[in-house]
Every structure is written in structure tokens, then in C-alpha cells.
Structure 1
Amino acid sequence: MDITERLSFFPSLYNVIEHPKLGMWMLYLTILALSIVVYKLGFAKKLPIIKSAIIYLFLAFGCTVLTFLGIFLPVAEGLVVAALILIIYKIRLHQSKKQEAENMK
């Protein structure tokens, strides 16, 4: 059994088997960026700068673990889907509020 057949999309895209150091860094940065997008779209609230820094520090630490899981499991792909769903939700919410404001006039 070939191990390259078991890789999920992003690790195979970044060629983790042939270039492990660069591939893992690229996978980590992808998962980190997608996690930040999902956090900002779905869960972020206005916080003081120190509390925000602590949250992002723990988010970066958690993404380290997710990167190792993301080699064979679709972690980054799931984050892409979550980001798309949250983007669609935010767009529809904005349109709904805009239409509601127009109806109030």
C-alpha cells in the first residue's frame, strides 16, 4: 500500500512526502490561516488586545496539533467548508439586515 494514496488534499498538494519540512510548514500556515478566518467569522467578539493575543497564541498552538492530524485526516478541507458556510451566512445576514432596514423606511 502506497502512503501517498492516504494523504488528504492539502498535504498531497504541498508534497509533504518529498519535501517534508516545507510541506509541513505550508500545511501549518494553511490550517492557521483557515482557523483564523473561521474564528473571526464565527466566534470573534470585541476583546482587549491582550486577550486577543492570548486567544491567537492558543489558536496557533492548537493548529500545531491539527497540522499533524491534517496529514491523513481532512482537517484543512473541513476548515475550508466551515469558512465557506460562515461566509455565506454572513452575506445572507448582511442582506437580511439591509432589506429589513429598507422595509422600516
Structure 2
Amino acid sequence: MEKLHLVFDFVVEVNGIENIFWIFYVMNFILSIIAYELGFAKKLPLFKKLIVYILMFIGVYIITIFSTVMRMPTVEVLIVTIIVLAIYRTRLYYQRKAKD
């Protein structure tokens, strides 16, 4: 069974493989920030929020290894996660609006 690597194949086709790790690192970091903000972020003081983002910056390195070296579809999973969380937040917003 062949795995689908839509984003990986597209990025390799467009950019080649020279900087593939750093391209995926930036993509994973940006998508992780969006997923965090949509689903898990709470109002934090600036210093605590900075700590969260620094730890995310370090943790995304491991996720990027899964994306590039092991060719797991982490970018695709993050995109699906963002879509699901966006739908959830939209429905929650409209339910709260309807209550008022």
C-alpha cells in the first residue's frame, strides 16, 4: 500500500531537496502555532506564552524529522487538525451567539 505524501511530493517538485528540512520545519512550526491557537491556547501572560512558543520551536524539530526523514504525513495531519478545530470554533461561536 502506497502512502500519500501530497505536500512532501509537491515541495520536492517545486523546491528540490536542498533545503527540504528547513522548509518543512517552518511549515510545521506555523501549522503547529495555528493548531495551538485554535484549540488549546488560553490567555497567558507574555512570558508564559513565550515559553510555550520556545518549547514548540524545539518540539517541532522532532516532528520535522518525522516529516522528512521518515516521510510521515505530519503536515497533512496538521492541516486536517486545523480544519477540524476551525469547524469546532466556528460552531461554538454560533452556538454562543444564538444563546445571547
Find runs of 4+ consecutive structure 1 residues off by over 4 angstroms: none
What is the distance in 2 between the residues matched to 1:52 and 1:7?
A: 35
Cα deviation for residue 7 of structure 1 reads 7.4
How many residue pairs were aligned?
96
Correspondence list, 1:66-85, <5 A: 66-71=63-68, 72-85=71-84
Percent sequence identity over matched residues? 32
User: Which position in structure 2 is the counterpart of 1:92?
Assistant: 91
Matched, 1:50 2:47: yes
User: Which position in structure 2 is the counterpart of 1:12?
Assistant: 9
Cα deviations across residues 38-60 of structure 1 (Å, max 9, x unaligned)?
10011111111111111101101
Cα deviations across residues 61-105 of structure 1 (Å, max 9, x unaligned)?
11111011012101111100110000000000011111111xxxx
Q: Which has the higher contact order (CA 8 A, sep 6+)?
A: 2
- Root mean square deviation of aligned Cα: 1.9
Greater CA radius of gyration, 1 or 2? 1
Retained in 2: the 8 A contact 1:28–1:67?
yes
Cα deviation for residue 21 of structure 1 reads 3.6
